[in-house]
């Protein structure tokens, strides 16, 4: 991957880059920060919570914390994009709630769109260009202007509203599967088993596993683990003990929680307790 512009701070990472390598499989993950993905060129698909997005040049994707997603690079064509990751702490307190509102929540009733394809180049790319220019400034000026440019970008996205036109997406699963995903997103901290989901939605466990993996790229159990561990990480950073975070995120066995946390985050839960939000590791 070649970096064309880069900004890295505790609360914001901005990257303008190009890749020539294909992947064919989705690099699936979720995290505890916000992401804005601006696609410019290439042959890629994005998978978000079982929904497939066929990206078009100068389209925009919004990803909230704890959303399961991944990109697939279908060929060796130059894949050019801009990615912006940030924690809420990067935003001013008086405007934080308003600017975060562009990202939909987990509730099925939240109908805010995450994908924009119309008017994006005209309305959003100038804000991206400002961030690209910001990457070349002195450190002091960059640190001063970065929050201003970030908030200006979010405000511009807010103004897009519902003007994005027809959404280019498709689901590989049925309406039942989307209902399963919605249910998991609302109840992932509850005691959930494959048997429970199969019974609740009147579907065999074998078929459920098959269609769930096809739609999301992972198993139902791994999907739950990612959701729970990212939520547990947020609790730990808020000051909860590891035992409290395990219980509140849906684990009844601390050793199972510890193993899952280590596997997904790469470190022990104790390390993250009380840690300040930071994108620098």
What is the distance between the alpha carbons of residues 149 and 176, in angstroms, rounded to a whole number? 41
Task: Determine which of 40-44, 74-78, 103-107 has the lowest per-residue pLDDT on average.
Answer: 103-107
CA nearest 279: which of 87, 96, 137?
A: 87
Task: Work out the end-to-end distance of the chain between its first and last CA atoms, rounded to an integer number of angstroms.
Answer: 19
pLDDT at 163: 56
Helices 220-237, 254-265: inter-axial angle, 10-degree rounding: 90
Q: How far apart are CA 189 and CA 141, in angstroms?
A: 43
Q: 3-class DSSP state for residue 81?
A: strand
Global pTM reads 0.85
**Residue that is written with structure tokens 């070349």 in the block:** 136
Q: What is the pLDDT of residue 109?
A: 47
pLDDT score at 169: 47
Nearest to 63, CA basis, from 46, 43, 41: 46
Q: Does position 162 have pLDDT exceeding 90, yes or no? A: no
pLDDT: which is higher, 85 or 55: 85
Check residue 115 and give its pLDDT: 92
Model pLDDT for residues 211-241, shown as the tens digit of each residue: 898 888 889 999 999 999 999 999 999 999 9
Cα(126)–Cα(131) distance, rounded to whole angstroms?
9
pLDDT bucket at 110, cuts 50 / 70 / 90? low
Q: Which of 44-58, 82-96, 105-119, 241-255 has the lowest mean pLDDT?
A: 105-119
Of the listed ranges 100-109, 181-190, 212-221, the least confidently predicted one is: 100-109
Q: Record the tokens describing residue 238, joined without a space.
A: 């808020």
Confidence of residue 178 (pLDDT cuts 50, 70, 90): confident
Mean pLDDT for the stretch of residues 67-96: 94
What domains, with CATH codes, occur in the chain? 2-169 (2.60.120.280), 172-272 (1.10.10.60)
Give pLDDT, residue 173.
52
Mean pLDDT in residue range 127-137: 96
Q: Would you place residue 85 in the very low, low, confident or very high pLDDT band (cuts 50, 70, 90)?
A: very high
Over residues 42-70, the pLDDT tens digits come to: 999 999 988 889 889 999 999 999 999 99
State pLDDT tens for residues 261-271. Answer: 999 999 999 99
């Amino acid at each position: 991957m070649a970096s064309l512009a880069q900004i890295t701070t505790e609360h914001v990472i901005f990257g303008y880059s190009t890749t020539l390598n294909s992947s064919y499989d989705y690099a699936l993950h979720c995290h505890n920060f916000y992401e804005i993905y601006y696609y410019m060129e290439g042959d890629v698909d994005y998978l978000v919570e079982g929904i497939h997005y066929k990206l078009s040049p100068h389209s925009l994707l919004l990803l909230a914390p704890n959303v399961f997603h991944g990109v697939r690079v279908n060929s060796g064509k130059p894949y050019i994009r801009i990615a912006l990751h940030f924690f809420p702490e990067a935003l001013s307190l008086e405007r934080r709630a308003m600017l975060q509102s562009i990202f939909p929540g987990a509730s099925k009733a939240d109908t805010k769109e995450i994908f924009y394809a119309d008017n994006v180049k005209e309305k959003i790319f100038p804000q991206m260009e400002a961030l690209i220019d910001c990457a070349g400034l002195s450190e002091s000026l960059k640190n001063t202007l970065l929050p201003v440019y970030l908030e200006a970008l979010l405000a511009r996205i807010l103004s897009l509203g519902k003007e994005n036109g027809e959404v280019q997406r498709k689901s590989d699963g049925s309406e039942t599967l989307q209902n399963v995903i919605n249910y998991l997103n609302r109840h992932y901290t509850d005691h959930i088993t494959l048997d429970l989901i199969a019974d609740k939605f009147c579907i065999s466990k074998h078929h459920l596993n098959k269609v769930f993996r096809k739609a999301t790229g992972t198993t139902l159990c791994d999907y739950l683990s990612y959701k729970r561990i990212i939520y547990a990480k947020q609790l730990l950073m808020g000051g909860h003990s590891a035992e409290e975070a395990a219980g509140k995120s849906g684990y009844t066995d601390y050793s199972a929680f510890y193993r899952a946390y280590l596997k997904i985050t790469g470190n022990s839960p104790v390390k993250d307790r009380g840690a300040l939000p930071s994108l620098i590791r």
